[in-house]
Chain A
Amino acid sequence: DSGVTQTPKHLITATGQRVTLRCSPRSGDLSVYWYQQSLDQGLQFLIQYYNGEERAKGNILERFSAQQFPDLHSELNLSSLELGDSALYFCASSTWPSGIADTQYFGPGTRLTVL
């Protein structure tokens, strides 16, 4: 158990809908990351938050947005869903920028299926 929690575990929805994925980081970690794992794109970095502020953006679609709340949990919002958004979405956390090596610990993931 990495200490990172994600809910829900599975999500099935229809095209055009909006969903919210939730993540709670490990105790003491201020940085949260979101990654998408799909068959054709592999594991891709989406976005990083540090203590409530956005710090880095990767290949995140404009239909996707995220935020980190004062209690440090994070939410990833996916809207106007398309079939191609079906994927496994991981949240990770780390002590960045503190620590000698920034090791990211991953949650169990949310499996999103868009029908």
Chain B
Amino acid sequence: AQTVTQSQPEMSVQEAETVTLSCTYDTSESNYYLFWYKQPPSRQMILVIRQEAYKQQNATENRFSVNFQKAAKSFSLKISDSQLGDTAMYFCAFNSLAGANSKLTFGKGITLSVRP
């Protein structure tokens, strides 16, 4: 079974600065997807970024980028130029490509606070 670990329960960053959220995972599979989801106070789950394990290039979406280290099973999220609207809980998630189904395995999440 896959596991996803987010060991930092909380982080804080000053507005306009850069912050990195950590995530590690454990799997015996070679093909899979990794995701970061954001959950603001509204509780909506919003996709931030995704990474296909077969791609060596790290995914980027505007101010959000990942550092994907497949051998180390590490998938961190970097938020540049932090904004007040980035205040939220962030979840790292894993989805296997194997099997005849699809399901997300989530980490416990990290609460990010952006200070004005």
Binding site for B on A (CB under 8 A): 2, 31, 33, 35, 42-45, 48, 50, 55-56, 58, 88, 90, 92, 94, 96-97, 100-106, 108-109, 111
B interface size (C-beta, 8 A): 24
- Mask, B90-113, CB within 8 Å of A = 1, is 010001000111111111110000
Q: In whole angstroms, how far apart are the Cα atoms of A77 and B102 in the complex?
A: 21
A56 near B33: Cβ-Cβ < 8 Å: no
| A90 touching B45, Cβ below 8 Å | yes
- Contact between chains at A43 and B102 (CB < 8 Å): no
Q: Do the beta carbons of A103 and B47 come within 8 Å of each other?
A: yes
| Minimum C-beta distance from A32 to chain B (A) | 11
Report the nearest A residue to B55, measured CB to CB: A101
B109 neighbours in A (Cβ, 8 Å): 42-43
How far does the Cβ of A84 sit from chain B's closest Cβ, in whole Å? 18
